[in-house]
Amino acid sequence: MKPVYLDETKTDAERVSDLVEQMTLEEKCSQLRYDAPAIPRLGIPNYNWWNEALHGVARAGAATVFPQSIGLAAMFDEEFLQKIGDIVATEGRAKYHEAAANGDRGLYKGITFWSPNINIFRDPRWGRGHETYGEDPCLTGRMGTAYIKGIQGNGKRLKAAACVKHFAAHSGPEKGRHSFNSIVSKKDLNETYYPAFEKCVKDAKVEGIMGGYNRLNGEAACGSYSMITELLREKWGFDGYYVSDCGAIKDFHMFHGLTATAAESGALALKSGCDLNCGAVYLHLMNAYVQGLISEEDINKAVYHVMMTRMRLGMFDEHNEYENIPYEINDCKEHHDQALIAAEKSMILLKNNGMLPLKKEEIKTVAVIGPNADSDEILKGNYNGTATEKYTLLEGIRNAIGDSARIYYSEGAHLYRENVESLAEADDRIKEAVTIAKRSDVVILCLGLNGTLEGEEGDANNSYAGADKADLNLPESQMRLLKAVCETGKQVVLLLATGSAMAINHAAEHCDAILQVWYPGQMGGIAAANLLFGKTSPSGKLPVTFYRTTEELPDFTDYSMKNRTYRYMEQEALYPFGYGLSYGDFTYDGLGVDQVVPGTDGYVRISVSVRNNSAVECEEVTQVYIKITNSLFAVPNYTLTDFKRVHLQSGEKKQIEFLLPASVFMVINDEGERILDGDKAFIYVGGSQPDARSIKLTGKTPLNSVIEIGGLK
């Protein structure tokens, strides 16, 4: 007779409960490791939970490499990001079934993806910020939800299991992260750090949550009953599995000083609600049980959660709807084409004095200069797969120009070292760059960083700055090159490849055009060339603020949001959150605001028309901001509350509608409670923030209206 856990006529809850009952205590403990061993007598194969899919299936050979997450955020395009998530899950399934068929169940071969990273990019110095969707809770929650829905699918079974990380209030510094204690107020937690996680739990039904290395207000992120059980499970309704970051539980006794032994650390994590251990501490669970530190009931709860995830993935079904996805669909041309579109949508035109788009018929010579011009490394970001087709910026430009013009190329400078072997050698590189710049009609200068200069602790492998950035400046070697090239008097367009905001004041003043390309994925070079030569119009918007100086930032270890990000900053931005230019020209009119459903559970409807006045087909990101007046608890600046990407033909006009829940007009008090307060809510709708700097840069003033806060009660 077929056991209940294999009987597909039973509910998942019945099947998982039966499966847990069949296991011995030792077997149960073994399944709480990320590298869970097989239980042959129950027909359970070994399974390694650790896989990554930040912007494509990672670390397991060939896969489509999309732009790094910060670039995906710059698209402000939920529908397309969900499609990308579906592609990633499709490739993950194809690889998983092929590997399993060949008996390969090792690291990075599973379909539990420890992605996306939805931490708030609160400080541009954080090395892992490019893994996130930027600095804003609304954008982060919306983009994270879209990616999760794409990965998990809408079938009977999960296509793959997404996992949001790192819960909670984790965003650097990388050095010392194993002992760091994030001190965060209730207001900041509920206003900034928690909302994206809550949305991904409630709206996306994310299957996994990973805890960070840090303590939060003294409690370990992987050992806090109040955070994991009371907040996530009981208040938000999370019913998936909770996993520790890798090695985080051993930090309890090694660095945080919360426990004395590995057994005590494992007990604290398990009883708090951490189901799965990435690391080795849960090898001590039987010891903890013998010591009376944990009960079998504690173990059963965790085993139930991890086995439910495997059940939801169809691992105990005879057949599932994804098993016939062919291996051939992995890394295919159709997916590469989508990576190209993503790269085009992600890039942001920060400045254009009329130089762009370039006209090939008017150009006879082009100088492509810079350490990032022919760099494969900038295409990758981190947590990346292996691209089998890829194009550097130089290769993309060559493909676009063909034989119509002469292309000169010079590295110009080392990426970060001032003295390569000697200052004379560095000067030789700059002199070569100046020589070709003088001979060219246009200069394309390719500067920035790469994932080895800003990344995760232990990943950065150079002496420039390590994982986090020391400051917001370009390396001195690149600054000398930038100044020398600009001094030639030639037209210069800067292609800036970074994963974070930089203080590019000199470039903003002296370059004719600036295109932020991020870490653009395998098709990045083609995408940049398409934008440079007008085959496509730029449409990305900044998911982070570009500051003018490092000095205006608070201390890196200060987790208070005061003077951080566009919502709280006190100085004027160099380039503001939500900003990005286009080759199109858009006008807005007919703003209408009315309350559809009254009350604090109701909605406010906003309608507006947007028209493309230009001769080119292009896309616009319409953004909705609010500002609450006369409330001590209101965010000091503006708050993004909604957005939509709109495709417009030349001369086309579309009406757009937004439904804003009454909750977005509430404020967070010092106890972390959401309340109605203040007298008015100003609503702004347009292609950017309504701040003075955005208006100056774009020449456009968003439309605005006002509603009475009292009318929402």
Active centre residues (catalytic): 245, 454
Q: Outline where DSSP puts E strands in 380-505.
A: 406-410, 442-448, 492-497
Pairing of strands 603-612, 47-48: unpaired
Which residues are within 8 A (CB) of 335 and not within 5 positions of it... i.e. 6 or more apart? 64, 87, 91, 329
Q: What share of the chain is helix, strand, coil (3-state, %, to 5)?
A: 35, 20, 45
Distances (CA, A) of 554 to 59, 123, 179, 568, 577: 36, 9, 21, 12, 18
Q: How far apart are CA 598 and CA 662, in angstroms?
A: 8
Which residues sit opposite 243 in a β-bridge? 210, 276
Asked whether the beta carbons of 500 and 544 are under 8 A apart, the reply is yes
Distances (CA, A) of 81 to 56, 74, 163, 231: 12, 11, 16, 28
- Which one-letter amino acid corresponds to residue 553? L
- Which one-letter amino acid corresponds to residue 467? A
Longest dimension (CA), the chain: 83
Long-range contacts formed by 696-701: CB under 8 A, 24+ apart: 697/575, 697/576, 697/579, 697/581, 698/579, 698/581, 700/586
How is 526-566 classified by DSSP, letter by letter?
HHHHHHHTTSS------SS-B-S-STTSPPTT----TT-HH
Distances (CA, A) of 301 to 81, 241, 545, 583: 34, 10, 43, 56
Q: Name the residue with tokens 């083609």.
A: 526
Instruction: Enter the tokens of residue 218.
Output: 């003294």
DSSP classification of residue 99:
H
- Which one-letter amino acid corresponds to residue 455? G
Q: How far apart are CA 198 and CA 177, in angstroms?
A: 24
Q: Which of 197, 222, 216, 220 is nearest to 275 (CA)?
A: 222
Q: Outline where DSSP puts E strands in 556-664.
A: 586-597, 603-612, 618-629, 639-648, 653-661
Length of the chain: 713
Q: How many other CB atoms sit within 10 Å of the CB of residue 551?
A: 10
Q: How far apart are CA 267 and CA 249, in angstroms?
A: 10
Q: Outline where DSSP puts E strands in 277-347.
A: none
Distances (CA, A) of 659 to 111, 204, 232, 675: 35, 19, 27, 20
The gap between the terminal CA atoms of the chain, to the nearest Å, is: 60
Q: How far apart are CA 703 and CA 687, in angstroms?
A: 10
Cα-Cα-Cα-Cα torsion 581, 686, 117, 348, nearest 10 degrees, comes to 0
Q: How far apart are CA 371 and CA 12, in angstroms?
A: 54
Q: Name the residue with tokens 């910026």.
A: 393
Pairing of strands 442-448, 492-497: parallel
Cα-Cα-Cα-Cα torsion 247, 254, 180, 462, nearest 10 degrees, comes to -60
Which residues are within 8 A (CB) of 527 and not within 5 positions of it... i.e. 6 or more apart? 340, 343, 344, 346, 347, 396, 517, 520, 536
Instruction: Enter the tokens of residue 388.
Output: 């089998």
